[in-house]
Amino acid sequence: MTNRQLATSAVAAAVGVLVAVAGVAGRTDLAVGGLGLLLAGVLVMLIDIRRRQGDIARRVRQVARRQALDSKRIGWLRSMPKNVKKEVKTALRPAVTSLGDTVDRAVGHIQAAGDGVSAGLAQERLAAAERHVRLTDDLGALAAGVSDVRADLGGVRTGVDDVRADLDGVRAGITEAKDGIVARIDESDQDDKRRQVSLRGQVSKLAYEPVRQIQALLQLVNRYDARAPLPPTGGWAMEPSTILHLVRMVEQTRPGLIVECGSGASSVWLAYAAEAYGGRLVSLEHDERFAEQTRQLLHEHGLTANTDVRSAPLTELKLGQETFQWYDTAAVGELDGIGLLLVDGPPRASGPRARYPAVPVLGPKLSVGARVVIDDVDRTEEQEAAEAWLAEFPGLEREGSSADRSATLIYRPA
């Protein structure tokens, strides 16, 4: 009972006692008046009780509406993890496989929280205050479960970001590969253009080159009285125009020692030129069969006195960080005072930059004013070798322009 109801009951009890006393004392008027007052008080009390009942009914209806609303919210919250799990699995199945167990645990938490809420709602029908307290606690637990779900979703977002980062890396790799392919295509196009230019040049040379080579060969033949049939020139052998350039150089500079990397037709002509003033020719040959053929040629021409064809098989030679296949250095150990170094070997098939070691090995044996002639400078590797010599060995300078397929360097140390 409320305080008001207790006060009303106390007043009614007091009036009842007063009516009883008045009746015993014979005071009928007082008894009647007190009885009327008692009836009025009872009526007021009944009215108040009715009003209280109306308030209670209204509160019960409010509680019922709240219960219905809470039930809807709980139902939505219960279904939300399943819906989220379904959508996430559908959209990002490879990235969220491990999320299933976490979502299941969250669903269990939410279901447990829902059961607690249901129990609280049942007790609310008996005590509204207790229901509010328990409902607050259960909603707090539910909020914690939702926070866990949000944290898991945050992990999913992180996974998605990682996947995006991987995709960006793949795109970058594809872009890089595409750029590389385009660059190689461009480079191939440039190589094709260079080959076309070279081919056009060779084709244009066909109009006058045979005549020029014949003229050079006639000049060579008229220079010396050959004592045996002369070896063929051109093709794999050195061209007559290049041989004529070498012979003129020997006649002008008169080197005491000529060293030739590679042997063949050029050996015969250089031997004739050196014989005229007492010079000496040393030829290095990696193939014993070719070395013997060259010795036979020199013997037939009577040029063995001032020539030496040395067999020098190709061996590994380490220069700096690179390893080359070059002539056995034991074959050049005692050579010194080289006046002309002709680099026409080893063959390109022996390895990359095959002719580069000639100057690193024989450069210290050059005499002042010596010439270094490298053949086949129409090829890239020979051009690179000549440029490397000029850059790496002080005292070497380019002499004039390239003659036919050869280039000449002169050694002038400071």
Delineate the domains of the chain, giving CATH numbers in brackets: 3-164 (no CATH), 209-411 (3.40.50.150)
Calculate mean pLDDT across residues 246-262.
Answer: 96
Calculate mean pLDDT across residues 20-29.
Answer: 75
Q: Over the stretch 102-115, which tens digit does the pLDDT of each residue have?
A: 656 755 665 666 56
DSSP codes of every residue in 6-67: HHHHHHHHHHHHHHHHHHHHT-HHHHHHHHHHHHHHHHHHHHHHHHHHHHHHHHHHHHHHHH
373: DSSP letter: E
Q: How far is CA 188 from CA 175, 178, 183, 184, 195, in A?
A: 20, 15, 8, 6, 10
Cβ atoms 367, 338 nearer than 8 A: yes
Residue 129's beta-bridge partner residues?
none
In the chain, % helix, strand, coil (3-state, to 5) comes to: 65, 15, 20
Percent of the chain predicted with pLDDT > 70:
72
Strands (E), 206-313: 257-261, 280-285, 307-311
| Burial category of 366 from C-beta neighbours within 10 Å (exposed 0-12, middle 13-18, buried 19 and up) | buried
Please state, rounded to an integer, the average pLDDT across all residues of the chain: 81
Give 127-134 contacts, CB < 8 A, sequence gap 24+: 128/59, 128/63, 131/63
What's the confidence (pLDDT) of residue 332?
A: 95
Q: Over the stretch 184-234, which tens digit does the pLDDT of each residue have?
A: 777 777 767 766 665 665 555 545 578 888 887 888 888 888 899 988 886
Tokens of 377: 């400078």
**How many residues belong to the chain?**
414
Give 63-67 contacts, CB < 8 A, sequence gap 24+: 63/124, 63/125, 63/128, 63/131, 67/121, 67/124
What's the confidence (pLDDT) of residue 287?
A: 96
Torsion over CA: 90, 92, 93, 98 (sign): negative
Q: Over the stretch 145-176, which tens digit does the pLDDT of each residue have?
A: 667 657 766 765 776 577 677 777 767 877 88
Cβ-proximal residues to 399 (8 Å cutoff; 6+ apart), any chain: 371, 408, 409, 410
Using DSSP's 3-state secondary structure scheme, residue 303 falls into coil
**pLDDT winner (highest mean) among 51-60, 222-231, 400-409:** 222-231
76: DSSP letter: H
Tokens of 291: 């070395």
What's the confidence (pLDDT) of residue 299?
A: 97
Query: Alpha-carbon distance 137 to 157, whole Å?
Result: 30
Calculate mean pLDDT across residues 306-329.
Answer: 96
Cβ atoms 352, 384 nearer than 8 A: no
Cβ atoms 285, 312 nearer than 8 A: yes
Q: Is the pLDDT of residue 311 over 90?
A: yes
Calculate mean pLDDT across residues 363-371.
Answer: 96
Q: Over the stretch 127-149, which tens digit does the pLDDT of each residue have?
A: 666 666 676 776 677 667 667 65
Q: Is the pLDDT of residue 98 over 60?
A: no
What's the confidence (pLDDT) of residue 96?
A: 47
414: DSSP letter: -
Query: Alpha-carbon distance 284 to 308, whole Å?
Result: 9
Provide the residue type at 186 as one letter: D
- State pTM to two decimals: 0.53
Using DSSP's 3-state secondary structure scheme, residue 101 falls into helix
Cβ atoms 312, 328 nearer than 8 A: yes
CA atoms within 13 A on the CB side of 277: 16
Q: Is the pLDDT of residue 235 over 70?
A: no
Cβ atoms 389, 357 nearer than 8 A: no
CA 299, 303, 306 angle in degrees (round to 5)?
130
Top pLDDT among 334 and 149 is at 334
Provide the residue type at 329 as one letter: T
Q: How many C-beta neighbours within 10 Å does residue 19 have?
A: 20
